[in-house]
Chains A and B, each alone.
Chain A
Amino acid sequence: MVAFILRRLGILGVILFGSSFILYNLAAISGDPLSDLRLSNDPNRDFLIASLTRELQLDVPPPARYFLWLKGVLGIFVGQPNFGMSRDGSTVAHSLALAIPVTIRLVLAATIFAIVLGIAIGIVTALRQYSRFDYSMTFVSFLMFSLPVFWVAVLLKEYLAISFNNFLRDPKVPLTFILGIGLFSAVFWASVIGGTKKKFWATFAIAGGSAAALITLFSLTKWFLNPSLGPIVIGALAIGIAFGVTQLSVGLINKAALKASLTMAGVVFLAYFPANWVFDNHPGSLSVFGIYSVIIAIAVFVALTYSKIDRGPIVRTAVLTAFISTGLLVVDKFMQTWKPYMETDAINYRPVPTIGQRSDLLDTSDWWLSSLDVVTHLFLPTLALTLISFAGYIRYSRGTLLEVLNQDYIRTARAKGLTERTVIMRHAFRNTMIPLTTIMVVDFAGVIGGALITESVFGWSGMGTLFRQGLLGYDLNLLMGVFFITASLSVIANLVADLLYSALDPRIRVGTGA
């Protein structure tokens, strides 16, 4: 195995060398970095040309210059990588260091949302195959699949961001909207839960009524101007999460797990005021991380206390419950920041931006304010990317699960008399995840490399922007820097996918014969 990985890494090195060599020379012959200088009428034109030539070593022919570049990059192994200078005089490493976090921020949330949502919906559609829900989700996913991101982005900017900002001036939800949301929620939940006709209509009424009532309440209390959850709602939601997670993870029949999860819901409820104190007095990502670690540590402890045998699943359940419910605390804190955020001069009651990665005018001294600013700027790009990429996950997970449900071991599991939950979650779902995992890994690397369009639509300056800049300005070092990162990521992701596949599926052998 180790030999296999080492050999693959060696081959990857050769591949990267080959493609970067070809790319470097292709890019070098594609254009002259000095062309715009040659055409200028600047009196010190010759001096500028000479200095740029010296700086970028343009007097060396491209194939030889490649090795100078390579020598700098190989410094990565001794801890001193040198990606060279870009045309505007800054080092490429510096530009990359600024751009990489931006791109990751742009795609990370969207990818996670897309994966979670896509797999969840995909599984429900597979379980309700040929139902009306299945057909409508199939249609929706195909529609999403067919949307160009730049087109969606313009629509989202116009219809979501700008009209939401206008709506916040006087946050009264119109009646048609309330009815619409109610109807949507009713149809959605009733089709997801399904069951007999009576149950269907009961779900329909409850889901529709509660959604409409909730929106009306929000509208009447002007919740959108000053949103918050508060300890009571958090407590109630946490109990709901505890039941949900337990049901999906081990089944409600496992009393120890249920007790541990409910205790964790209680712990999160009790942690509301202490956590807020910490958030207020020590703002920063460290305190969020600290709260998380403390609550998860408690979760492990609680689970171990309640359980005697078969501890793993119970710990898992409790930790998952704690993790999701603690998220509510953070969300609540962000909601509390919403009002002061809107009141700042930089925002002035128009909180959803259509372009850019942060408000330049905003005072960044308050950590919560500036984090909320990041979140609002992420809102549209994340929504656009999620809408577009989750369709793929719906299709993949639906197809794979249907495939798995046809297998003999599922029939065996059913024949053994296992509950439907166990059959689906333990036997079918895990096997569904095998191909999905590998798709996810490759997808994520691809998304980072492919952020070019999203970045250009939303005016972010990440890797895609650098790439474009390098390409249009014949800025070799910049171009190669971006290429180096994205190419390495994609080959490594493919290697990881191969290894994961063989680790997860013993039927696939890796390292033999290759």
Chain B
Amino acid sequence: MISKKKNTHDASASTSGENAIANKEVEGLSQGQIVRRRFFRHRAAVFSLGTIIFITVFVFTALDFRFLGIWHVKGWWKWSPQDLPELRFGDCPNDTIGCPTISFRPKFLGGNGIGLGDHPFGQDDIGRDFFALVMKGTQRSLSVMIVIGALGATIGTVVGAISGFYRGKVDAILMRFTDFIITIPAIIIGSVVGFHFGNLGAMFLAFYLGLFAWTGLSRLVRGEFLTLREREFVDAARVAGASNRRIIFKHILPNAVGVIIVSVTLLMSGAILLETALSYIGFGVVEPDVSLGLLINKYQDSFTTRPWLFWYPGLFIISIALSINFIGDGLRDAFDPRQRRRISKKERQESATARKLAQAND
């Protein structure tokens, strides 16, 4: 902490230079362009965005896709979760059954060559192709995540913004309603609904989880609005005659959008974990449907003998949640108007030279 002193001096000394660089960069650009630029400069976020797009496309095209019974697209993977191919015996290590055929070691290093093989992730107890099962489960998790994220974000932002901006009675009522929702466990609603209407599937699960997932976000947005509405620029806007609507959408919301985006990404990565966890304990997606949590629950006991049944579903959960989190981080940096990227040494030198030249010219 002590040694930081030096760096701070450095920073303050070069602020004017950095400002100059930063300002020059955004000259003549719209807010959207600035945000997009900043986002694409965040390497981890861009990489994650690529990953998530890749996973989504990879997963959704793998299996047969049916939409409302009319639109039918054939998947590129040869098995479907319902197929019952023959179980692989014999050529597995330690006398296990249905081991994975995926191989990363090329032939000249003594492996089987890079390739997927017949059953890349192995087979389950009755011989179903585990790759197809994982694809199906990932489809479920992704769609659940998106529905929960969208629903939670919309309700949470609207409730939080209204109650934070108008305060008073509206705030009291909305916040007590939030407390009310917080107290009702989503699991119960799910089990009740499931009992009465039968298993309505993953989409319905996502829908009602989304109806209960917005509480944290709304409290956060409300807090943000409460602080922002006291700031000088809001007073200035009001004095200038701006309407409430304009103040909310033009002055407060852009300042709160970073917080909203970040917590929505947290909400989404939380949603995928929630869905898998609920399915894991048996209150979420239930058989015969497939979910990553369900797969993990089913095969956690065979971890010592057939660990692949445990690794692959988890791997997909983690890579999705991780990518979403990184995208959120990138978006936050991009949206933050005070955020200045790290100025590289070269740019700093260039700006110093430019300054010196300017002084010399004076």
Contact = CB atoms under 8 A, between A and B. Distances in A.
A127 B188 contact: no
A150 B325 contact: no
Interface in A294-337: none
A392 to B, nearest CB: 8
Interface in B178-203: 179-180, 182-185, 187-189, 191-192, 195-196
Given A29-B192, A151-B317, A420-B2, A143 B310 contact: no
The A contact surface, by secondary structure, is helix
Given A142-B329, A146-B321, A150-B297, A27 B1 contact: no
A26 B325 CA distance: 36
Interface in A400-421: 406, 414, 419-421
The B contact surface, by secondary structure, is helix
A494 B8 contact: no
Given A16-B183, A195-B3, A468-B281, A148 B317 contact: yes
Interface stretch (B54-62, B75-83, B112-120, B166-174): B166-174
B154 to A, nearest CB: 22
Nearest to A388: B273
Contact of A406 (B219, B317, B338): B338
Nearest to A124: B1
Given A23-B184, A143-B322, A514-B171, A508 B227 contact: yes
A158 interface: yes
Contacts of B219: 494
B167 A513 contact: yes
A23 B188 CA distance: 8
A54 B88 CA distance: 56
A154 B325 CA distance: 23
A27 B192 contact: yes
A452 interface: yes
A60 to B, nearest CB: 20
Most buried by A among B168, B184, B326: B184
A225 B188 CA distance: 48
Nearest to B292: A148
Nearest to B310: A154
B20 interface: no
A483 B317 contact: no
Contacts of B182: 490-491, 494
B188 A471 contact: yes
Interface in A64-101: none
A424 interface: yes
A453 interface: yes
Contacts of A127: 1, 4
Contact of B195 (A31, A154, A513): A31
B49 interface: no
B261 to A, nearest CB: 13
B277 A148 contact: yes
B342 A130 contact: yes
A11 interface: yes
Contacts of B296: 148, 150-151, 154
Contacts of A196: 3
A19 B183 CA distance: 7
Given A145-B321, A150-B277, A513-B168, A487 B303 contact: no
Contacts, number: 142
Interface string B258-284: 000000001001000100110011010
Interface string A117-153: 0000000000100100000001100110111111100
A279 B316 CA distance: 50
A30 interface: yes
Contact of A149 (B184, B187, B277): B277
Interface residues of A, number: 59
A513 B164 CA distance: 13
Nearest to B180: A15
A228 B112 CA distance: 51
A456 interface: yes
Contact of A158 (B1, B183, B266, B303): B303
A468 B171 CA distance: 35
A424 B1 contact: yes
Contacts of B2: 419-421
B281 A452 contact: yes
Contacts of B329: 138, 142
B318 A420 contact: no
Contact of B189 (A15, A26, A487, A491): A26
A145 B180 CA distance: 27
B362 interface: no
Contacts of B238: none
5 contacts: A15-B176, A27-B192, A146-B273, A150-B300, A491-B179
Interface of A: 11-12, 14-16, 18-19, 22-23, 26-27, 29-31, 127, 130, 138-139, 142-143, 145-151, 154, 158, 193-196, 199, 406, 414, 419-421, 424, 435, 449, 452-453, 456, 468, 471, 479, 483, 486-487, 490-491, 494, 501, 507-508, 513-514
User: What are the 6 A-B residue pairs with the smallest beta carbon separation, nearest first?
Assistant: A146-B321, A487-B183, A30-B192, A195-B3, A146-B322, A19-B183
